[in-house]
Amino acid sequence: MIPASEERPIKILDLACGLGPARVPTAKRYAGREVHYVGVDEERPRGREVLKWTARFSRIPPERRARFTEEFRPAYLDFHSPERLKEALQRVVGGEKFDEIHLHALPAAESAAHDRGPETLKVIAALLKKGGRFYHMFEGSSPLLDLVPKTFGRDAARTSEDLRRIREAAAGAGLVVDRFGGRSAATGYKWAGAGMRGSAERAGDAYELLAKDYSDFGASHFIIFRKPAR
């Protein structure tokens, strides 16, 4: 999260935004602050599902939510091609930098490691401001990783190895891993390890809120990346 002492607007980029569920927990976390939200997807969603999420947003009391401005920018985002993704993002956001980036609940036809995933992660990381965070939730596998994380919490040694490799990919993109979490049948959502770096505002709060709001999608893993301030 961005320090409350800062008065500038918070800029949020939601990639493959779909219905924009990230707006709800974001509005709660930044109560009283000015937030400019930019959603990017192939086309703007329509229909009953949009009304459901809009209603959820409107039910947040005004005094407990951010002063939100929203913008939708249409673009096809190919997360399996770093080159095409970079071109598409250049067209829709140009040289803008963001305090937060979200990429959530991408449906995976099959779980697979993506050899060029770390290159795609680097493309997205370039849009973050220093000190900014990138929130990524996924089911099974991620187009940003060259590994398929194992079922979370089943094997502590394998979870530690997954985290080590994710940290390697993050370092190559100029990022660090603040948090790595997931869902297991036995314990529900939880974090891996202890002593992981986070902000005084508990970056993990976003995880619990997002996990709840995305529960219909059944995401298995969640990562919070951060771009160091220096």
Angular region, 153: left φ>0, alpha ψ -120 to 50, beta rest: left
**Res 123: pLDDT:** 97
The Cα 126–Cα 107 span in angstroms is 24
Cβ–Cβ < 8 Å for 116, 42: no
55 by DSSP, 3-state: which? helix
pLDDT at 195 over 70: no
| Rounded Cα distance, 144 and 115, in Å | 9
Which two structure tokens, joined as six digits, stand for 96?
Answer: 């803008």
Query: What's the mean pLDDT when you consider all of the chain?
Result: 81
- Residue 137 neighbours by CB distance under 10 Å: 25
pLDDT score of 110:
63
d(CA 65, CA 209): 14
pLDDT category of residue 20 using cuts at 50, 70 and 90 = confident
Helices (H) and strands (E) in the chain, counts: 6, 8
Residue 198 predicted with pLDDT over 50: no
- What pLDDT score was predicted for residue 133? 93
How large is the average pLDDT for residues 138-145?
A: 88
Task: Decide yes or no: CATH 3.40.120 for domain 10-226.
Answer: no
171: enclosing H helix or E strand: helix 156-172
Residue 196 has pLDDT above 80, yes or no: no
Q: Report the pLDDT value the prediction gives residue 109, as an integer from 0 to 100.
A: 55
Q: The whole model's pTM is what?
A: 0.85
